[in-house]
């Protein structure tokens, strides 16, 4: 079975950097989805300090990503990347389930 999320090398390296300066009790990063933004839903990333009973745990390239159970159906097949540009750097979610994305790239929609 394919993982819910695949990490690019850039994303894994950035998560390693983030975790090296994280609080000691952080286990990894958590990815979830929340309602909001101009297209309806947006991705949320935060430190995970505990394993919730229904979390999906992705271990890839030496890092742990915890997936909120409510987000799994929205994230299936997504590649998580990290892009560095002239004025910004950010995690990017290449999600095959998206049917629409807002112009600013902050939110998305799945029909």
What residue numbers bound the domain in which 45 lies?
Answer: 5-109
User: What's residue 13's pLDDT?
Assistant: 96
Vertex 5 angle, CA 10 and 41, to 5°: 100
Q: Which residues of 76-93 are buried (b: 16+ CB within 10 A; e: fewer)?
A: eebebbbeeeeeeeebeb
Distance from C-alpha of 110 to C-alpha of 101, rounded to nearest angstrom = 9
Which CATH number covers residue 19? 2.60.300.12
Tokens 């690019």 found at: 8
pLDDT at 103 over 80: no
Q: pLDDT tens digit string along 63-90? A: 999 999 999 998 999 999 999 988 888 8
Residue 54: helix, strand or coil by DSSP?
coil
Give the model confidence (pLDDT) of 86-99 as tens digits. Answer: 888 889 899 888 88
Span 21-31, pLDDT tens digits? 888 888 999 99
Q: What tokens were used for 80?
A: 């998580």
Tally of domains in the chain:
1
């Amino acid at each position: 079975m394919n993982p819910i999320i695949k990490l690019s090398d850039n994303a894994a390296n950035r998560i390693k950097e983030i975790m090296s300066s994280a609080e000691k009790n952080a286990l990894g990063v958590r990815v979830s989805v929340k309602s909001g933004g101009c297209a309806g839903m947006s991705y949320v990333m935060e430190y995970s300090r505990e394993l919730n009973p229904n979390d999906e745990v992705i271990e890839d390239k030496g890092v742990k990503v915890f997936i909120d159970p409510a987000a799994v159906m929205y994230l299936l097949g997504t590649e998580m990347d990290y892009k560095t540009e002239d004025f910004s750097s950010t995690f990017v979610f290449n999600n095959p389930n998206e049917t629409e994305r807002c112009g600013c790239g902050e939110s998305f929609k799945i029909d």
